[in-house]
């Protein structure tokens, strides 16, 4: 019915339905036009899960205890704080763990004794 009656492939119907769900129409719209608009919409969406699509920026949560957050905080403070600059150099050289640097800066408490 779809192929013979409407002269559309089932995938084209899916594209048309996707477009019409997002863009409700008051006027009549030919199904072929809706299918073409739906194909364009799908093409714009891209593959958001592949590594090629995603950027390399990392969103850091404020107050995190992770190494990226601590390193970013050391980088921020290194200009005006010589202690932060020295600790950052040690962290980058892998002579000091980021958590140990955070403890030295007073951002983290030392571990509790058992």
Query: What pLDDT is recorded for position 2?
Result: 44
Same domain, 21 and 66: no
Domain count, the chain: 2
Residues in CB range of 70: below 8 A, 6 or more apart: 91, 98, 99, 101, 102, 107
Residue labelled with tokens 């992770």? 66
Q: How far is CA 91 from each of CA 14, 16, 61, 68, 71, rounded to the nearest angstrom?
A: 53, 54, 20, 11, 8
Same domain, 69 and 94: yes
Same domain, 68 and 34: no
Closest CA to 105 of 77, 80, 79: 77
Domain housing 67: 58-114
- Of all residues in the chain, the percent with pLDDT exceeding 70 is 51
Same domain, 62 and 20: no
Q: How many CB atoms lie within 10 A of CB 15?
A: 21
Span 56-105, pLDDT tens digits:
555 656 666 788 889 999 999 998 899 999 999 999 999 999 999 999 99
Same domain, 62 and 114: yes
Query: What pLDDT is recorded for position 41?
Result: 63
């Amino acid at each position: 019915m779809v192929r013979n009656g409407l002269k559309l492939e089932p995938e084209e119907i899916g594209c048309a339905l996707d477009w019409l769900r997002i863009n409700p129409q008051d006027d009549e719209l030919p199904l072929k036009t809706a299918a073409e608009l739906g194909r364009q919409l799908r093409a714009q969406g891209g593959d958001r899960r592949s590594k090629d699509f995603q950027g390399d920026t990392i969103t850091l949560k404020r107050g995190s205890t992770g190494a990226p957050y601590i390193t970013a905080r050391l980088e921020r403070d290194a200009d005006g704080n010589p202690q932060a600059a020295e600790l950052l150099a040690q962290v980058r050289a892998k002579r000091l763990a980021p958590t140990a640097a955070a403890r030295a800066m007073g951002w983290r408490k030392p571990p509790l004794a058992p």
